[in-house]
Structure 1
Amino acid sequence: MDLTQEERATLLRFVERFALVLRESGMAPMPARVFAYALADDADRYTAAELAEGLQVSPAAISGAVRQLVQIGLLVREREPGTRSDLYVLDDGNLWVRFTGAELAALQRFEDVVAAGVDILGADRPGGRRLAETREFLAFLHEVLADAVARWPEERTRRAAAG
């Protein structure tokens, strides 16, 4: 379905607003824009040229962004038989479970390094006590997020049934 000029402008305003939130969370600017666009636009696969046209940027700006998004698993690279262009697909099945899984891995690295700090410095000094509390908070957060990820398929079904 082709969008009107007004609908396209509304989509791009949303993409920029969402990309800004993603950037504030640590994602690089162009990958944030490409991901926000792929998530909000109606198409499910794009060439680099289509992404560039949709975002009104140069094709060169897209190549590094899609490479990063493929590496972190937010886009999948495919190729149709007989074509020379890569297609970038938003694999939205369990997208947020995969995304949170990557965050859980990063959280585990934080937890491990803080635990090592407690072991090295000891929990009997002020810095060590702060690190010990940080370790406990990170362990708690890891448990809660892992539980949410495990429960999501059933919750998604429940929410879909509820309308």
Structure 2
Amino acid sequence: MIESGRAHDQAHDQAQDARDGEAVSRFVERFAADLVEAGMQRMGARVFAALLVSDAGALTSAELAEQLQISPAAVSGAIRYLAQVDLVAREREPGSRRERYRLYSATWYESLSRRDQLLVRWESTMRDGAKILGPDTPAGQRVSETAEFFEFMQSELRTMLDRWRAHQAARGGAGKQ
């Protein structure tokens, strides 16, 4: 069993070595730029993209700093941000004090699921605002329409996430990205 595990690790290392490291770096930077354009913090986007392309889905601070050519402080700040927005988890390496940073197994699904809670809160706030502003005022109507939009988004998001779970289950990959 240990031998087969070592063989698997060696095959994994060879597959990773066969990749064009420069092309992988360009991909990481391109995807990070896309995330930044969508509103994510720059270093957080770079660290997230690096974790996403790692076969293990987890790297140490030193590995991230080396791969991205950034300081340990930049890694720390990015991880703090990514943990705050529930995109990564911290875990201890067995037998070590070093931490590894891991993507959640269904990162996109989990992230969008949590957005549902945000939409509920925003809808509630907008409904309160519409009452305060008055339903017959232009501002009240605009805020009321915003509340309706958030309500619609909640419904559509839940439906979409349910369809995604069914799609993954049909493919035999429930819970995987």
Pick the TM interval, shorter chain. 0.7 to 0.9
Q: TM-score, normalised by structure 1?
A: 0.87
The CA deviation string for residues 17-66 of structure 1, in whole angstroms up to 9 with x for no partner, is: 11112112221111111001111222332110001111122222101111
Paired position in structure 2 for 1:11: 24
Q: Distance in 1 between matches of 2:108 and 2:75?
A: 23
Paired position in structure 2 for 1:129: 141
AA in 2 matched with 1:157: A
Paired position in structure 1 for 2:117: 105
Segments of 5+ residues of structure 2 without an aligned counterpart are: 1-12
**Deviating more after overlay: 29-38 vs 101-110:** 101-110
The CA deviation string for residues 47-106 of structure 1, in whole angstroms up to 9 with x for no partner, is: 1000111112222210111122223221111113321211111222x2212100222222
Shift of 1:158: 2.8
Paired position in structure 1 for 2:8: none
Segments of 5+ residues of structure 1 without an aligned counterpart are: none
Question: What is the total number of aligned residue pairs between the two structures?
Answer: 159
Q: Distance in 2 between matches of 1:119 and 1:78?
A: 46
Paired position in structure 2 for 1:119: 131
Shift of 1:160: 5.7
Q: TM-score, normalised by structure 2?
A: 0.81
Of the candidates 50, 65, 69, which is equivalent to residue 37 of structure 1? 50
AA in 1 matched with 2:62: A
Matches within 5 A, 1:20-99: 20-92=33-105, 94-99=106-111
AA in 2 matched with 1:68: Y
In 2, are the aligned partners of 1:114 and 1:132 still within 8 Å (CA)?
Answer: yes
AA in 2 matched with 1:110: W
In 2, are the aligned partners of 1:79 and 1:87 still within 8 Å (CA)?
Answer: yes
RMSD across aligned positions (CA): 1.9
Q: Distance in 1 between matches of 2:148 and 2:57?
A: 41
Shift of 1:159: 4.7
In 2, are the aligned partners of 1:15 and 1:37 still within 8 Å (CA)?
Answer: yes
